[in-house]
Structure 1
Amino acid sequence: MTDPVDPQPAAASLPVRLLVCDDHAVVRAGLLALLDSAPGIEVVGEAGTGEEALALAARLAPDVVLMDLQLGEGMDGVETTRRLTSPSAAVGAAGAAGTAGTAGTAGARAAGGTGGGGRAGSAGSAGSAGDAVGEGGAGEARGAPPHVLVLTTYDTDADITRAIEAGATGYLLKAERPEELFAAIHAAAQGRTALSGPVASRVMANMRRPRPSLTDRERDILAQLATGLGNREIARALFISEATVKTHLRRIYDKLDVDTRAGAVAVAKEQRLLT
């Protein structure tokens, strides 16, 4: 579900500057080829890791970062999103540009080598675009942190919640039609929410679902459980008996409709029961 937006911007308007972040080179190449036909969208660079995305964003000042959630080893998409959208991201961009230089050049070379056709050339010019930012071009004109549009195969409540809480403007599944992706990129560039249909349905269902009512003691035990403590350690920490811990755990499992400790913690995080 994407807010209404004109997918064909006026000729006088600037194209949406897009940075693509996905750890699979084949996926990035496919996206670059697809986006080559997108009206009003200019891919300025590509990244294979969260760290590289942060460096390139500081150097290239994109309007939107198309972000995968799972990025292999290192920083994941959620943490990268959190850092990209933090208020300090724009303030620290100038200072980060020097550090980003090497990564920006590497990202530009990767873009030029893996992209297809004309879009590869556009992405491959990332280095020169970064120089322009450093000289006070796009960086000063745009200033604000980029909007992040998640593009992933994961649609669990936990993944959606974590991404949105981290600051993502939109959340799309990779099964979307190209036209939906293009429209979502333009919507994100304007700060408009863009959600895939199944994702929007899950978000609405979660909002309508009543939150479980836990007692203060049950919340205490759940918080200890989230730290990885066993029953004996929880009993010692809360100055209660191990049998009392087990009784409360059974009640917590019933209220959260789970049957494992890991399940209880996962549901508690999804429904923001842990403070």
Structure 2
Amino acid sequence: MVKILLVDDHAVVRTGLKMLLDGKEQMEVVGEAADGDEAIEAAAALRPDVVLMDLNMPQGKDGLTATAELKKLLPDVAVLILTMHDDDEYLFRAIHAGASGYVLKSAPHDELVTAIQTVAEGNAYLYPTATKKLMAEYVDKLKRGDAPTAYETLSEREKEILALIAKGYSNKEIAEQLIISVKTVESHKSNVMDKLGLKTRPDLVKYALKKGLLHFDE
């Protein structure tokens, strides 16, 4: 069951989303918030799998600020931005803040459901034209010679897990140390290996050694 927190300053929007999502199998709206401050408080109390976050909320923190703070507080909670803004600046700022996905309010209901399922599984979701925009920016960076390295594409949590794996910790030990589920560790590990183009644990250790990540506290 995917637990969802709805964040939007319009009560009628939250009501409509709740009716839509509660009617889907394996989805449950566990809470609502009208601004970023309420969202952070509710997420800390409810520990949802996905926070469906509006960008523009006139009271309290806006969606981008709330997303950045939420990801620091609860790095394993996926934030999916739901907005009316089909705008490059908002898109890039949302991704930089730590959002796992970006969907337009004008999108079909099926697309929203797919997006929620996608980010709940630990993957990223962008609507089609947003993907084209990101690819265009990446190609432009390649031409300028300043495209990010594979390591720079890892999230802070993925870098943390990479270092722990390289130090010899098992998935269970990592889960206990970071207070997350073994399934979440496995998902992050899979993402790390995909991003770095690695196949085995020994490959991860060799990579971490080359990057100077093996620091042991004595």
TM-score in terms of structure 2 length: 0.63
Q: Distance in 2 between matches of 1:157 and 1:76?
A: 18
1:94-121, Cα deviation, whole Å (9 max, x unpaired): xxxxxxxxxxxxxxxxxxxxxxxxxxxx
- Deviation, 1:36, is 2.1
Work out which of the residue numbers 178, 193, 196 in structure 1 matches 2:109: 178
Amino acid at match of 1:44: V
Structure 2 Cα separation of the partners of residues 22 and 212 of structure 1: 39
Q: Does 1:28 align with 2:6?
A: no
Whether the aligned pair in 2 keeps the contact of 1:172 and 1:199 (CA below 8 Å) is: no
Tell me what 2:23 maps to: 37
Amino acid at match of 1:66: L
Give the corresponding residue for 1:241: none
Runs of 4+ off more than 4 Å:
210-213
Higher relative contact order (CA 8 A, sep 6+): 1
| Partner Cα distance (1:27, 1:151) in 2 | 11
Q: 1:154 aligns with which of 85, 104, 114?
A: 85
Rg larger for? 1
Structure 2 gap ranges (5+): 145-218
Distance of 1:178 and 1:209 partners within structure 2: 33
CA distance in 2, matches of 1:22, 1:197: 23
RMSD between aligned alpha carbons?
A: 1.7
Deviations 1:182-235 (A, max 9, x none): 11111111110111112112111222235998xxxxxxxxxxxxxxxxxxxxxx
Partner residue of 2:68? 82
**1:10-37 alpha-carbon deviations (Å, 9 max, x no partner):** xxxxx00000001111111111111122
Task: Count residues in correspondence.
Answer: 144
Q: Which residue in the other structure is 1:16 paired with?
A: 2
CA distance in 2, matches of 1:151, 1:38: 18
Amino acid at match of 1:50: G
- Counterpart of 1:181 in 2: which secondary structure? helix
Determine helix, strand or coil for the equivalent of 1:209. helix
| In structure 2, C-alpha distance between the alignment counterparts of 1:210 and 1:187, rounded to whole Å | 27
Deviation at 1:85, TM superposition (A): 0.7
- In structure 2, C-alpha distance between the alignment counterparts of 1:31 and 1:65, rounded to whole Å: 12
Identify the residue that residue 64 of structure 1 maps to in structure 2: 50
The residue aligned with 1:206 is: 137
1:39 match: secondary structure: coil
Q: Once the two structures are aligned, what percentage of the paired residues are identical?
A: 44
Which residue number in structure 2 is paired with residue 55 of structure 1?
41
- Does the 8 A contact of 1:84 with 1:145 survive in 2? no
Q: 1:44 is paired with a residue of what secondary structure?
A: strand
Q: Which amino acid aligns with 2:22?
A: D
In the alignment, residue 101 of structure 2 is paired with which amino acid?
Answer: G
**Residue 157 of structure 1: how far off its partner (Å):** 1.2
**Cα contact 1:54–1:80 (8 A) shared by 2:** yes
Q: Take 1:166 and 1:28, find their aligned partners in 2: how far apart are those partners?
A: 23
How many angstroms does 1:74 deviate by?
2.3
- What amino acid maps onto 1:164 in structure 2? I
Provide the secondary structure at the position in 1 that maps to 2:17: helix
- Which residue does the alignment assign to 2:127? 196
Match of 1:164 in 2: 95
In 2, the alpha carbon distance for the partners of 1:166 and 1:56 equals 19
Distance 1:164 1:37 in 2: 29
Whole-angstrom CA distance in 2 between matches of 1:212 and 1:199: 20
